[in-house]
Structures are given as structure tokens and as C-alpha cells.
A and B are shown apart, each in its own frame.
Chain A
């Protein structure tokens, strides 16, 4: 399937899916970039900033696919939509902790490890399915992204397992972080209101199939590190795929667009 052969209903569904993919990576990459210089050690600063950079590149690929579908310039759609137009899951927009990246950041490494690991597992499952997407340009992008994402998954899995099997304090902090992420991680696992059209057009696998894969994997890992599997993750604060968001998204997008918004028409 190419842009020319898409039926209007399919195109609408594809655009919805692409915004989910783009905004998920865009927001989590932003939260990652806020950690620069604040990671637990310098080696992690090097690795984490590389991962954030990769993820910004992935978001850029998806925004460009949207541009190709007539959604407007990639920079404009990345920076200048209103909060209700973003399609990322709520848990990915959440701040890293109290303070800001410029002043008194009291960031939570356990939350960052859990959120990134859970997301990396899902992203891997999602990409594995997108490789066979009926929309050719998306399948091609997914294959490119996968070569990088594989290393992200390993990176966060090592962190997750190490901290979950170390000191009492680490286990306690990680367990609290799992509980926190669990409340909203369901938002990552859903395809939103256009779910049926997205799946019918074979853009990606059924969300229930992918959800099951994610739950199986996480349940096995939790068992491996001696932790309790709390049942399916929830979506307590609403579904970001519907445009429901928190103030953390507003804060994120106003930072991300601060300079661009002063004059979107000029070259920067």
C-alpha cells in the first residue's frame, strides 16, 4: 500500500497511528534529554544521551511520514499542535521528578529505568509487527528503527534486572516505580479510538495480540527477578490516544517549541 492507493478511511487511521508512534518517541526522548549531565554516572550519561538522540531520530522519521501524507511540515506538527492534538500515552509525558532540568532536578532513576524498560519492550513488539505493515514506507521505517532499538532494549533490561536484584533500597525504589508506572502504562498498549480501522488495514497487529506479548514478557521478567506480576496495567488518568493529557505535556511542548514558536516561518 502506498499513499496513492490508500482509501480515505485508511488514511485517517494511518495518520492516527503515525501520530501515536511519533509522539511516543518525541516525548520520551525529551524526558530522556532532560537527564543529560544528571545520570548516575558518566558512562550512563554517554549511553542515555545516545538513546535519547536515537529516539528523537525515530520521531523525526515518523513526522516526516506524516508530512508526506499532507499533515504539514514535520517541524510544525512536532512543535505547534495544541495539547489535545498529541497522541502519546500519558505515562510518557510525565516529568522525571520534582524540579526542572535547569533548576533543582530531583529526578527518580528508578522511575526512569522502569518507564524506559517497559516502553522498550513494547516498542520492540510494535516494531516487530510494523516491519510487515501494509503501508510500505512505515514498514521500511520500522526496519531502520529496529536496528537501533535492539540496543536500547538490552540497555534498559540490564538496568532493570540489576536494580531489581540488588540492595534493599534499590528493590524498594524499583517496586514503587513499577506500581507508579503500572497505573498508566495501559495507555502505551492501546491503539486508541481508530483501533479497528488501523488493524483492518493491516498497518499493525491487533492490539490485544501485542498486549498479550507484552504481558507475557514482563510477567516472565518479573518472575525471574523474584517480583510480583500485578495483572494487566491500567489507564487511570485517561487515554492519550484520545487527546487526553496532563499539564506535564503542556510544560513539555512549551519548552520544546520555545524558540521555534517565536518565528516558525524563518530558517533556524
Chain B
């Protein structure tokens, strides 16, 4: 920028150049800084989806909170779902700041969730019928989340990067809690091992889907590429999936569990895992609200939002004591 010239006098193109220079130099963008509309919209899309996924993500595990098989496990899973709610709250606050200039609020986020406009993560649309599922979710879904969130720890948007730092620190405990459940079951009775293997079979394709398709051609969506340009994220979906395989496949095998994909192997030449890809048309169906539990879980939130309308009205009418 020319010395003595105010930023406001720059034209849009010059502002954009200045903005890209800042993020390329590793500077953080803060809520009140100038940012291109496209960047703002990408962040709102990404962070509100992330936030609402944390909140919807508490629901499948919540099914197992009272049923957790010991006092110790009850305490651990209660702490975990409480963390997830906290992450959701933290992220929605970040999204709300970004939405404020557009005249939108938390209420709009909830309405978009209920109408299906705002999507949440594919894994949280799925069934979790046994305690084994609670273990797999905490171990592998949270493990996958750590991998995808760690890559954004250096996100160009300051508030998101700072929120993720806190979130990732807690997610590590969740994965350990999951691993501990898995180990107890893997070392337990034949029934426990079977329950665990069934849960892994159920979750495997969802875990492949977790990171998103390899390229835009599977879903016709280029948000991932855009986010790399804006330095919101740094790796492709496939990079992350390969990282997940490298970290978890040896651990899964060492427990004597079978991955429900007989083609899966590490290819020394390409230094890549070869695997059976997910059915991406199914993925599209699931995240559009047609997964096995999508509508049940949305109904829980829809009905509680409606049932508690009188409470929100009462709070709005009353100055805090």
C-alpha cells in the first residue's frame, strides 16, 4: 500500500491484492478486517457447518450416555459430549460474528439446519445401535476429526484458528477415551469382540466419506480448492484420508480386527494406500438429509426448539438479573 494513502481509497481489485498478500505472508485476518465477500461466505459455510456438526454430533453419542457400562465410562462420555456442545457453541460464536454484517443471527443458522439448507457431517446421520458404536465414534471419528482440524490450526482466519487450537486439545482426550473403550472390548469376551467388529463394519464407509471426495468431479463442488487458495485449509481431502489410513490401519490390524475392504493395502511404489472408494452418490444422499438417522435427529432438535420457544421469549423479555 502506498504510504499516506488510506485503505478505503483503494479500489476493490487493490484491496483484494492487499488481502491476498496478507494471507500469503501468513498474517491472520480478524473479524473487523476487510475481506472479500467470497472469503466471508466460504468461512460462514465452513464454520457454521463445523459448529452445527459438533452439536448434531452429540446426539448419536448421547444415546449411549446413560447406558455407558460403568460409572467411569458414564463420567467419561458425559465429559466428552459436554465438550462437543462446547465446541459447537464456540464455533457458532465465530460464525455469528462473520454473519453479523449480513444481518444474520444464530436463529438463521438454526432455521437453515431445520430446512436442510445447512448440512452437517455425514457421520452424524448414521445409526449407532450398540456400545461398540460409541467406542468406534470416539476412537475413529474423533481421530479423523483431529486430522482434518489440525490442518486448519494455521487457518488464515484468526478466530477460527484460535478456536480450533482449543478444540483439538480436547479431541485428543476423546480419541484416548475411544481407544480405551476399544481396548477393553477387544480384550474382552467373544461377544464384545463381535460387537466391536460389527461396529467397525458399519462405520468404515462413513469414515472413508468423512474426508470428502477426492476431487470436485465426484460432487461438482470446489469449496476445498477455494479454501486452499484462501489458506483456510492446507491439504486436499485425499491427503487427509491417506494420513488417517497411515495412522489408524496398523492400529486396527494390531487389535486383530478386520477392515471390511479386502482390497486395502499400502502401495510401496506410490507410497499411497489403495482402497475401495466410497459410493459418493450415497454420500450426497446422506448429507442431504436422507441418511438413516438424519430426520430423527433433526426432529429432536426441531421439536426441542419449538417446545422451548416460551423460554427464549421469557429470557428476551427479561433483563438479566
- A interface residues (Cβ-Cβ under 8 A, vs B): 30, 33-34, 36-43, 45-46, 49-50, 52-53, 56-57, 59-60, 63, 74-75, 78, 101-107, 109, 158, 161-163, 165-167, 169-170, 173, 255-256, 258-260, 262-263, 266-268
Q: Which residue of A lies closest to B74 (CB)?
A: A56
Question: In the bound complex, do residue A42 and residue B92 qualify as a contact, i.e. CB atoms below 8 Å apart?
Answer: yes
Instruction: Return A266 CB to nearest CB of chain B, in Å.
Output: 5
Per-residue 0/1 for B35-69: is the Cβ within 8 Å of any A Cβ (1 yes, 0 no)?
A: 00000000000000000000100110011011111
A-B pairs under 8 A by CB, number = 143
Interface class of chain A by DSSP: helix
| C-alpha gap A30/B58 in the complex (Å) | 16
Q: In the bound complex, do residue A49 and residue B70 qualify as a contact, i.e. CB atoms below 8 Å apart?
A: no
Interface contact B66-A37, CB-CB below 8 Å? no
Q: A45-B85, A162-B321 are in contact. Are A53 and B75 (CB under 8 A)?
A: yes
The chain A residue sitting closest to B188, CB to CB, is A266
A102–B127 Cα distance when bound, in Å, is: 12
Residue among A37, A45, A162 making CB contact with B300, cutoff 8 Å: A37
Q: How far is it, in angstroms, between the C-alpha of A104 and the C-alpha of B307 when the chains are bound?
A: 11
B307:A60 contact, CB within 8 angstroms: no
Whether B184 contacts A267 by the Cβ 8 Å rule is yes
Q: Once the chains bind, are A260 and B69 in contact (CB under 8 Å)?
A: yes
Q: Is B192 an interface residue (CB 8 A)?
A: yes
CB-CB under 8 A for A167 and B75, given A36-B58, A42-B88, A162-B318: no
In the complex, B262 has a CB within 8 A of chain A: no
**CA A169 – CA B308 in complex, angstroms?**
12
Determine whether the beta carbon of B304 is less than 8 Å from that of A268: no
Chain A residues whose C-beta falls within 8 Å of the C-beta of B6 in the assembled complex: none
Q: A75-B70, A158-B321, A162-B318 are in contact. Are A49 and B310 (CB under 8 A)?
A: no
Known: A56-B78, A259-B131. 18 other contacts (CB 8 A): A33-B62, A33-B65, A37-B85, A37-B301, A41-B311, A46-B86, A49-B78, A50-B82, A56-B71, A78-B71, A104-B303, A106-B307, A167-B318, A169-B310, A170-B310, A259-B68, A260-B69, A266-B189
- B88 surroundings in chain A (CB, below 8 A): 42
Please report the C-alpha to C-alpha distance between residue A74 and residue B181 in the assembled complex, in whole angstroms: 19
Q: How long is the Cα–Cα vector from A158 to B318 in the complex, in angstroms?
A: 12
Q: Is B75's CB under 8 angstroms from A163's CB?
A: no
CA distance A106 to B68 in the complex (A): 24
Contact A107 B69, beta carbon cutoff 8 Å: no
Taken together as a complex, chains A and B put the C-alpha atoms of A259 and B77 apart, in Å, by 14
Question: Which A residues are CB-close (under 8 A) to B66?
Answer: 30, 33-34, 101, 255-256
* B191 touches A (CB below 8 Å): yes
B310 touches A107 (CB 8 A): no
